[in-house]
Protein backbone atom coordinates (compact mmCIF):
# COMPACT_ATOMS: atom_id res chain seq x y z
CA UNK A 1 0.00 0.00 0.00
CA UNK A 2 2.06 2.98 1.12
CA UNK A 3 2.11 5.99 3.36
CA UNK A 4 -1.48 5.47 4.52
CA UNK A 5 -1.06 1.90 5.79
CA UNK A 6 -1.70 3.11 9.34
CA UNK A 7 -5.27 4.10 8.33
CA UNK A 8 -6.26 0.61 7.11
CA UNK A 9 -7.43 -2.35 9.12
CA UNK A 10 -7.67 -5.83 7.66
CA UNK A 11 -10.31 -7.81 9.51
CA UNK A 12 -9.03 -11.04 11.01
CA UNK A 13 -11.50 -13.90 11.30
CA UNK A 14 -12.64 -14.17 14.91
CA UNK A 15 -14.06 -17.43 16.18
CA UNK A 16 -17.20 -17.26 18.32
CA UNK A 17 -18.11 -19.44 21.30
CA UNK A 18 -19.85 -22.64 20.34
CA UNK A 19 -23.19 -21.58 21.89
CA UNK A 20 -24.67 -21.16 18.39
CA UNK A 21 -26.21 -17.73 18.98
CA UNK A 22 -23.72 -16.05 16.60
CA UNK A 23 -22.37 -17.35 13.32
CA UNK A 24 -19.11 -19.27 13.97
CA UNK A 25 -16.88 -16.55 12.47
CA UNK A 26 -17.33 -12.76 12.83
CA UNK A 27 -15.47 -9.55 12.03
CA UNK A 28 -14.98 -6.85 14.66
CA UNK A 29 -13.69 -3.32 14.37
CA UNK A 30 -12.56 -2.56 17.90
CA UNK A 31 -11.97 1.18 17.62
CA UNK A 32 -8.54 2.33 18.75
CA UNK A 33 -7.40 -1.29 19.12
CA UNK A 34 -7.92 -1.78 15.38
CA UNK A 35 -6.84 1.64 14.07
CA UNK A 36 -4.98 3.92 16.51
CA UNK A 37 -6.84 7.21 16.94
CA UNK A 38 -10.20 5.77 15.82
CA UNK A 39 -13.26 7.31 17.47
CA UNK A 40 -15.81 4.62 16.60
CA UNK A 41 -16.38 1.04 17.74
CA UNK A 42 -18.44 -1.22 15.48
CA UNK A 43 -18.58 -5.00 15.55
CA UNK A 44 -20.30 -6.84 12.70
CA UNK A 45 -22.48 -9.54 14.22
CA UNK A 46 -24.55 -12.18 12.46
CA UNK A 47 -27.05 -13.88 14.75
CA UNK A 48 -28.29 -17.29 13.68
CA UNK A 49 -30.66 -18.21 16.53
CA UNK A 50 -32.85 -16.38 19.06
CA UNK A 51 -31.30 -15.30 22.33
CA UNK A 52 -30.09 -12.43 24.44
CA UNK A 53 -27.82 -9.87 22.73
CA UNK A 54 -27.39 -7.71 25.82
CA UNK A 55 -28.78 -8.90 29.14
CA UNK A 56 -28.61 -5.86 31.35
CA UNK A 57 -29.61 -2.20 31.25
CA UNK A 58 -26.67 0.15 30.80
CA UNK A 59 -25.74 3.52 29.29
CA UNK A 60 -22.83 5.17 27.53
CA UNK A 61 -21.49 8.71 27.75
CA UNK A 62 -21.34 8.71 23.96
CA UNK A 63 -24.05 8.30 21.36
CA UNK A 64 -24.69 4.79 20.02
CA UNK A 65 -26.60 3.51 16.99
CA UNK A 66 -28.05 0.01 16.74
CA UNK A 67 -28.37 -1.30 13.19
CA UNK A 68 -30.82 -4.21 12.95
CA UNK A 69 -31.29 -5.59 9.42
CA UNK A 70 -31.57 -8.85 7.52
CA UNK A 71 -28.20 -10.54 7.14
CA UNK A 72 -28.27 -10.70 3.32
CA UNK A 73 -27.21 -7.15 2.55
CA UNK A 74 -28.21 -7.56 -1.12
CA UNK A 75 -31.72 -7.14 0.26
CA UNK A 76 -31.66 -6.29 3.97
CA UNK A 77 -35.45 -5.87 3.92
CA UNK A 78 -36.53 -9.09 2.21
CA UNK A 79 -34.02 -11.09 4.27
CA UNK A 80 -35.33 -9.65 7.56
CA UNK A 81 -37.32 -12.30 9.41
CA UNK A 82 -37.00 -11.61 13.14
CA UNK A 83 -38.42 -9.95 16.20
CA UNK A 84 -36.10 -8.05 18.53
CA UNK A 85 -37.17 -6.65 21.90
CA UNK A 86 -35.29 -3.62 23.21
CA UNK A 87 -35.87 -1.68 26.42
CA UNK A 88 -34.84 1.99 26.44
CA UNK A 89 -35.42 5.12 28.51
CA UNK A 90 -33.96 8.06 30.38
CA UNK A 91 -33.98 6.11 33.67
CA UNK A 92 -33.37 2.42 34.40
CA UNK A 93 -36.61 2.45 36.39
CA UNK A 94 -38.76 3.83 33.55
CA UNK A 95 -37.81 2.12 30.31
CA UNK A 96 -40.15 1.43 27.42
CA UNK A 97 -40.39 -1.96 25.76
CA UNK A 98 -39.82 -1.58 22.02
CA UNK A 99 -40.57 -4.43 19.60
CA UNK A 100 -38.64 -4.31 16.32
CA UNK A 101 -40.12 -6.44 13.55
CA UNK A 102 -38.58 -4.79 10.46
CA UNK A 103 -35.15 -3.35 9.59
CA UNK A 104 -34.29 -0.43 11.85
CA UNK A 105 -31.55 1.92 12.96
CA UNK A 106 -32.03 2.95 16.59
CA UNK A 107 -30.31 6.08 17.87
CA UNK A 108 -29.42 5.76 21.55
CA UNK A 109 -28.59 9.27 22.84
CA UNK A 110 -25.83 9.85 25.39
CA UNK A 111 -26.82 8.71 28.89
CA UNK A 112 -29.96 6.85 27.72
CA UNK A 113 -30.43 3.51 29.40
CA UNK A 114 -30.93 0.55 27.08
CA UNK A 115 -31.12 -3.19 27.51
CA UNK A 116 -31.88 -5.90 27.76
CA UNK A 117 -31.92 -6.57 24.03
CA UNK A 118 -33.26 -9.95 22.97
CA UNK A 119 -33.98 -11.71 19.69
CA UNK A 120 -37.29 -13.38 20.53
CA UNK A 121 -37.95 -14.83 17.07
CA UNK A 122 -35.53 -15.52 14.25
CA UNK A 123 -36.52 -17.05 10.90
CA UNK A 124 -33.39 -15.96 8.97
CA UNK A 125 -29.96 -14.78 10.13
CA UNK A 126 -29.95 -11.25 11.54
CA UNK A 127 -27.30 -8.56 11.17
CA UNK A 128 -26.95 -6.55 14.39
CA UNK A 129 -24.33 -3.82 14.55
CA UNK A 130 -23.97 -1.56 17.58
CA UNK A 131 -22.02 1.55 16.54
CA UNK A 132 -20.58 3.33 19.56
CA UNK A 133 -19.02 6.73 18.92
CA UNK A 134 -16.06 6.04 21.21
CA UNK A 135 -12.53 4.68 20.74
CA UNK A 136 -13.30 1.48 22.70
CA UNK A 137 -16.34 -0.32 24.00
CA UNK A 138 -17.56 0.51 27.48
CA UNK A 139 -20.84 0.37 29.36
CA UNK A 140 -21.94 1.78 32.70
CA UNK A 141 -24.25 -0.32 34.88
CA UNK A 142 -26.20 0.52 38.02
CA UNK A 143 -25.42 -1.63 41.03
CA UNK A 144 -26.60 -1.51 44.63
CA UNK A 145 -24.37 -1.61 47.70
CA UNK A 146 -25.14 -3.57 50.85
CA UNK A 147 -26.77 -0.44 52.25
CA UNK A 148 -29.15 -0.34 49.25
CA UNK A 149 -27.61 2.81 47.76
CA UNK A 150 -26.97 2.76 44.01
CA UNK A 151 -23.50 3.01 42.58
CA UNK A 152 -22.23 2.67 39.02
CA UNK A 153 -19.82 0.12 37.63
CA UNK A 154 -18.06 0.77 34.32
CA UNK A 155 -16.96 -2.12 32.13
CA UNK A 156 -14.33 -0.93 29.66
CA UNK A 157 -12.75 -3.12 26.99
CA UNK A 158 -9.09 -3.62 27.75
CA UNK A 159 -9.41 -2.78 31.47
CA UNK A 160 -10.92 -4.23 34.61
CA UNK A 161 -14.32 -3.06 35.92
CA UNK A 162 -14.26 0.28 37.74
CA UNK A 163 -16.80 1.80 40.08
CA UNK A 164 -18.05 5.37 40.07
CA UNK A 165 -18.37 7.21 43.37
CA UNK A 166 -22.02 6.89 44.55
CA UNK A 167 -21.75 10.28 46.27
CA UNK A 168 -21.16 12.06 42.93
CA UNK A 169 -24.43 11.17 41.21
CA UNK A 170 -26.36 13.88 39.35
CA UNK A 171 -29.84 13.84 37.81
CA UNK A 172 -31.80 10.57 37.43
CA UNK A 173 -29.04 8.43 38.91
CA UNK A 174 -26.58 9.29 36.13
CA UNK A 175 -23.01 10.13 37.20
CA UNK A 176 -22.03 13.76 36.74
CA UNK A 177 -20.85 14.59 33.23
CA UNK A 178 -17.41 15.71 34.41
CA UNK A 179 -16.86 12.66 36.60
CA UNK A 180 -14.15 10.41 35.21
CA UNK A 181 -14.10 6.64 35.62
CA UNK A 182 -11.44 5.88 38.23
pLDDT of the residue at 142: 94
pLDDT of the residue at 128: 93
* CA 154 to each of CA 151, 160, 164: distance values in angstroms, whole numbers, following the listed order: 10, 9, 7
Domains located in the chain, CATH noted: 13-132 (2.60.120.10), 138-173 (no CATH)
Contact 124, 68 (CB under 8 A): no
Instruction: Say which residues have a Cβ less than 8 Å from residue 69's Cβ, sequence separation at least 6.
Output: 76, 77, 80, 103, 104, 126, 127
Contact 45, 87 (CB under 8 A): no
Closest CA to 153 of 143, 138, 144: 143
Quote the strand ranges of 17-112, DSSP E: 25-29, 42-47, 51-54, 64-70, 82-89, 96-100, 104-108
The whole-number average pLDDT for the span 112-117 is: 96
Residues 115-151: tens digit of each pLDDT: 999 999 999 999 999 999 999 999 999 999 899 999 9
pLDDT of the residue at 48: 94
Residues 88-102: tens digit of each pLDDT: 999 999 999 999 999
Whether 177 shows a pLDDT value over 80: the answer reads no
Say how far apart CA 117 and CA 86 lie, in whole Å: 5
pLDDT of the residue at 1: 61
Write down the pTM of the prediction: 0.82
Residues 154-175: tens digit of each pLDDT: 888 876 554 444 444 443 344 4
Residues 6-63: tens digit of each pLDDT: 888 888 888 877 678 888 888 888 899 888 899 999 988 899 999 999 999 999 999 9
pLDDT of the residue at 24: 86
For the chain, the first-to-last Cα distance in angstroms comes to 40
Amino acid sequence: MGQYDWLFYKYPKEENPADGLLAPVQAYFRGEFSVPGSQVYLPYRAYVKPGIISGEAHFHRDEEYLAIVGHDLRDAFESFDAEVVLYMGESPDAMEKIVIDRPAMVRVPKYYWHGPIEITRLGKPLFFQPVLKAPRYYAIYRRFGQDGRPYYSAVVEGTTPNELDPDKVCVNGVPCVGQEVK
